[in-house]
A and B are shown apart, each in its own frame.
Chain A
Amino acid sequence: MVITQPTFGAEFDDLAPVARATDENLFATMMASFDAAAARLGLDPSLYAILRKPDREIHVAVPTPLDGGGLSVFDGFRVQHNAGKGPYFGPLRLSGTLTVDELRALAAWMTWKCALLDIPFGGSAGGIRIDPGERSETEVERAVRRYVSCLLSDIGQDHDVFSSDMATDERVMAWVMDTVSMHSRFTENAVVCGKPIELGGTQGHSDAVAQGLRTILTRALELAGLPERGAEVMIQGAGSRGGNVARLLDGEHKIVGLSDVHGALYNAKGLAHGPILDWRERHGDLRGCTGDFERITNEEMLGRPCDVFIPCAVDTTVNQKNAPSLAARLVVEGAHGPVSANADKILEKRGVRVVPDILATGGGAIVNYFEWVQNRAGYAWSLDRVHKRMARMLDSAWSEVTTIAGEQSVPLRTAAHMLAVRRVAQADRVRGLYA
């Protein structure tokens, strides 16, 4: 995607700029899905106008003392898209290249994802434009705590709830929880999800996305008429998400490809992914890893034959350039927006079914939601209960989405967004406009 760092003023001139058809970035991808669903639903123009813009965007300066003396002022953002169905809920992201556009897209996506899965939340997204790799832990901690205190009147368990994301692990979420609680003068843990178990985290958080993806994959294979066991699977991304997916699918399916940012490993007869993932954990990437496989580029990997391609890494992996030659028969999106809107159209024409991100990665949002429920109740669930309830919610969303797709003859992505947009519009409609 094109990374832009516009100045403060420019970012707020137009709350949600209209995406151009040629754009291939997160926001354009999200808007394309939303527009397709809204058009198909015949959405009331006034509701369309409300839903295409975030409710609110907050930009804060985050002054942070540096370890060596001196001070840096980072930019912090929180975009709150829609609260019709409940408190805002969305990722907290630390990234040196963070843009408001990507947060707008993520915030809206969270709205659709929660509505689709019947989670009583609206969507939001936020973060600090800081590169955690280049900063010490204490600097990051100070920036996060200052950022949280800047937003205190805009977050809360019934107001806006943070979830973990890129570069925000348990440790970061614990700082958030502590900062809010110290200001409130009481333990307040439901304001942030992805916490350590000791502070009210939930069972099943670490591999929630992979667990959910596996549930959805089973149903998707059935729909696509592919074998329910022993399918050839290619996974882009060998980090925690891609790695978890590989581990969970082990034994049920054959992993033929695995990649990271530097390149891909491929073996049509199946990869011994165990040693590969161990290598990745020890060394941080796959360079230098040896074994029975062919080393190819990420682009080459997309052209290799397989049943299922699961992109678990960055957005816009599949774009208008490589979509015509993608060899997989089924794509299950394991990250946000890996298939651009233009690529989506090409794949649809070619008959390649795409299971959309908001459904396939739903396990993460569901388990975060469960953490919030457990914190509110002050009662923790067993792992078994978490898994059972997650599977129930995903199965129900899957059934509703495939029903709409069948009845309306639309792709799964449009069907999922139709269901989501309809639910949010319904909530906004019954609540009415309040002055």
Chain B
Amino acid sequence: MSKVSSVAPPQSLQDEFNPFLSMAKGFDTAADHLGLDEGVREVLRRPDREMTVAIPVVMDDGSMRVFTGYRVQHNFSRGPCKGGIRYAPDVNLDEIRALAAWMTWKCAVVDIPFGGAKGGVICDPRQLSQGELERITRRYTAAIMDILGPDRDVPAPDVNTNEQTMAWIMDTYSMHVRRTTTAIVTGKPLSIGGSRGRTEATGRGVMLICREALKKIGLRPEKTRVVVQGSGNVGGIGAMLLHREGYRVISLSDMYGSIVDEKGLDVPAVLAHLKKNKKLEGFPGARTLAGLTEQLELDCDVLVPAAVENQITSKNADKIQAKLIVEGANGPTTFAASEMLDRRGVVVVPDILANAGGVTVSYFEWVQDRMGYFWTEERVNSTLEQIMVKSFQDVDAVAHQYKVSLRIAAYILAIDRVAAVHRMRGIFA
């Protein structure tokens, strides 16, 4: 594995809009606070292991193509590696490395016994048939099989991969090892060892974190105006659950723009409208805002960016009116913007805490698969609640102790947990 050469991110990635650079800055600031020695710092900066594989596949027309796949395992001190597999034309090793590290910190913040990993295949799923996707998935799984396993590395869905992809991985692995191995991958269909409550887990986590953060601020649900950027798996479900808890969700957005109603939106009706019309525009009784960033500057108490990265930047950070930002997406706030908000006293709950509900329920799926016993949805939800509430309190306590923002506190907590295990385990020859 001689692929890892530089500690600093490549030059091309060094600008405000690179979310991985934001993460690196968060890491460095937290490491300074912890007084982490240079040796441990270097260990934690680079992946433990990287694998690049060639994936020869016979296409439907009889020709053969060779795709490239990666699996990067950032750190397995705290347990087996955990992380998604993405299929996209722009997948590259630098991105996979950064995302793998992100998973290490995320798992450590919510204190689940996993290290971080990420994988991907360079391909354009829109140009591939279902059969071709299946063959790519099975060959990729077979190629990286030596470093996978319920106690080694457990993949999950990510960009352009889904339940079906996970079912193929589970089947390929199980056939190779000659035994049913459901715990090899999470995000599976319920029929072969998936977990109840997984689909809405990230959204539920976002709702729980909002609730805990608002308790600190002292805002009552019915008085709280929430703006949600996004309306999908995270934003839509998050908004729905916040609505159910009594919060006033005043705006939701999709890729075309946003809808606003200061009196509060009927979120279930909005989502039904979206499902039917494929867009939010035209929802009765709400006004429409064009563009993506106008919505972020609305007068509100809570802003939940749950769409894509780099939405809150040094350009608009000073126009944000919310008192609290809960990052449902990965990297929606640039590091520079984060510092500006911090100076203004806006509380930002960072992505590695706010959207960790998804990986937490993935962990529950792995636990259930190992036992072979499956929990009710109520049990999944209540255990998730315990973990999210505890994690928020842990991060908040660190923020007070070090007098830092929640983002830096989350990194301090995560790095400290991983580093502590490193020191205890020592280096094995």
Using a CB–CB cutoff of 8 Å, the interface residues on chain A facing chain B are 83-87, 118, 120, 156, 158-159, 369-370, 372-373, 376-377, 423, 426-427, 430-432, 434
- State which of A87, A120, A372 has its C-beta within 8 Å of the C-beta of B374: A120
Residues of A within 8 A of B7 (CB): none
Count of chain A to chain B residue pairs whose CB atoms are closer than 8 Å in the complex = 59
Contact B179 A85 (CB under 8 A): no
Bound together, the chains give a CA A408 to CA B275 distance in angstroms of 29
B373 at the interface (CB under 8 A from A): yes
| Contact A431:B370 (CB < 8 A) given known A83-B180, A86-B180 | no
Bound together, the chains give a CA A83 to CA B179 distance in angstroms of 9
Residues of B within 8 A of A376 (CB): 370-372
Chain A's nearest CB lies how many Å from the CB of B378?
A: 12
B342 at the interface (CB under 8 A from A): no
Per the CB 8 Å criterion, the residue count for chain B at the interface is 24
Contact B180 A426 (CB under 8 A): no
Contact B168 A431 (CB under 8 A): yes
- Residue pairs across A and B with Cβ atoms less than 8 A apart, 8 shown, are A86-B180, A120-B372, A120-B374, A159-B178, A427-B191, A430-B191, A431-B170, A434-B138
Bound together, the chains give a CA A53 to CA B371 distance in angstroms of 30
Contact B179 A434 (CB under 8 A): no
Residues of B within 8 A of A118 (CB): 374
Contact A373 B371 (CB under 8 A): yes
Contact B180 A159 (CB under 8 A): yes
B171 at the interface (CB under 8 A from A): yes
Secondary structure at the B interface, as helix, strand, loop or mixed, is: helix
Residues of A within 8 A of B168 (CB): 431-432
Contact A373 B372 (CB under 8 A): yes
Of residues 173 to 194 in B, which have CB atoms within 8 Å of A's CB atoms?
Answer: 175, 178-182, 189, 191-193
In the A-B complex, the 9 residue pairs with the smallest Cβ-Cβ separation, listed nearest first, are A158-B179, A431-B171, A430-B167, A373-B373, A427-B191, A159-B179, A434-B175, A426-B191, A87-B180
B175 to chain A: closest residue by CB: A434
Contact with A along B108-136 (1 / 0, CB 8 A): 00000000000000000000000000100
Chain A's nearest CB lies how many Å from the CB of B188?
A: 8
Bound together, the chains give a CA A431 to CA B189 distance in angstroms of 10
Bound together, the chains give a CA A427 to CA B182 distance in angstroms of 12
Residues of B within 8 A of A87 (CB): 179-180
Chain A's nearest CB lies how many Å from the CB of B384?
A: 20
Contact A432 B171 (CB under 8 A): yes
Contact B167 A432 (CB under 8 A): yes
A158 to chain B: closest residue by CB: B179
Bound together, the chains give a CA A93 to CA B314 distance in angstroms of 73
Chain B's nearest CB lies how many Å from the CB of A389?
A: 9
Contact B192 A430 (CB under 8 A): yes
Residues of B within 8 A of A434 (CB): 138, 171-172, 175
Residues of A within 8 A of B212 (CB): none
Bound together, the chains give a CA A84 to CA B172 distance in angstroms of 12
Chain A's nearest CB lies how many Å from the CB of B422?
A: 28
Residues of A within 8 A of B164 (CB): 430
Contact A431 B167 (CB under 8 A): yes
| Contact A156:B179 (CB < 8 A) given known A377-B371, A432-B134 | yes
B163 at the interface (CB under 8 A from A): yes
Bound together, the chains give a CA A120 to CA B181 distance in angstroms of 12
Contact A431 B192 (CB under 8 A): yes
Residues of A within 8 A of B189 (CB): 426-427, 430
Bound together, the chains give a CA A121 to CA B191 distance in angstroms of 11
Taking A159-B178, A427-B189 as given, write out 15 further A-B residue pairs in contact, using a Cβ cutoff of 8 Å, ordered by the A residue number.
Answer: A85-B192, A86-B192, A87-B179, A120-B182, A120-B372, A120-B374, A156-B179, A369-B372, A372-B372, A376-B371, A430-B163, A430-B164, A430-B167, A430-B192, A431-B171
Residues of A within 8 A of B180 (CB): 83, 86-87, 158-159
Residues of A within 8 A of B163 (CB): 430
Chain A's nearest CB lies how many Å from the CB of B125?
A: 17
Residues of B within 8 A of A431 (CB): 167-168, 170-171, 192
Residues of A within 8 A of B181 (CB): 158
Residues of B within 8 A of A158 (CB): 179-181
Residues of A within 8 A of B192 (CB): 84-86, 427, 430-431
Chain A's nearest CB lies how many Å from the CB of B381?
A: 17
Bound together, the chains give a CA A85 to CA B193 distance in angstroms of 8
A370 to chain B: closest residue by CB: B373
Residues of B within 8 A of A85 (CB): 191-192
Bound together, the chains give a CA A430 to CA B134 distance in angstroms of 11
Chain A's nearest CB lies how many Å from the CB of B60?
A: 16
Bound together, the chains give a CA A376 to CA B192 distance in angstroms of 18
Bound together, the chains give a CA A156 to CA B180 distance in angstroms of 10
Chain A's nearest CB lies how many Å from the CB of B322?
A: 42
Chain A's nearest CB lies how many Å from the CB of B204?
A: 23
Bound together, the chains give a CA A426 to CA B371 distance in angstroms of 22
Residues of B within 8 A of A430 (CB): 163-164, 167, 189, 191-192
Bound together, the chains give a CA A294 to CA B400 distance in angstroms of 84
Bound together, the chains give a CA A67 to CA B195 distance in angstroms of 53
Contact B191 A423 (CB under 8 A): yes
B164 to chain A: closest residue by CB: A430
Bound together, the chains give a CA A120 to CA B371 distance in angstroms of 11
Residues of A within 8 A of B372 (CB): 86, 120, 369, 372-373, 376
Of residues 373 to 426 in B, which have CB atoms within 8 Å of A's CB atoms?
Answer: 373-374
Bound together, the chains give a CA A118 to CA B181 distance in angstroms of 17
Bound together, the chains give a CA A431 to CA B137 distance in angstroms of 12
Bound together, the chains give a CA A289 to CA B171 distance in angstroms of 57
Of residues 145 to 182 in B, which have CB atoms within 8 Å of A's CB atoms?
Answer: 163-164, 167-168, 170-172, 175, 178-182
Bound together, the chains give a CA A87 to CA B174 distance in angstroms of 10
Residues of B within 8 A of A120 (CB): 182, 193, 372, 374
Bound together, the chains give a CA A434 to CA B172 distance in angstroms of 7
Bound together, the chains give a CA A84 to CA B191 distance in angstroms of 9
Bound together, the chains give a CA A13 to CA B191 distance in angstroms of 34
Specify which of A87, A118, A158 lies most central, judged by the most chain B CB atoms within 10 Å of its CB.
A158
B181 to chain A: closest residue by CB: A158
Bound together, the chains give a CA A377 to CA B367 distance in angstroms of 10
Residues of A within 8 A of B374 (CB): 118, 120
Chain B's nearest CB lies how many Å from the CB of A295?
A: 47
Bound together, the chains give a CA A85 to CA B178 distance in angstroms of 14
Of residues 49 to 99 in B, which have CB atoms within 8 Å of A's CB atoms?
Answer: none
B163 to chain A: closest residue by CB: A430
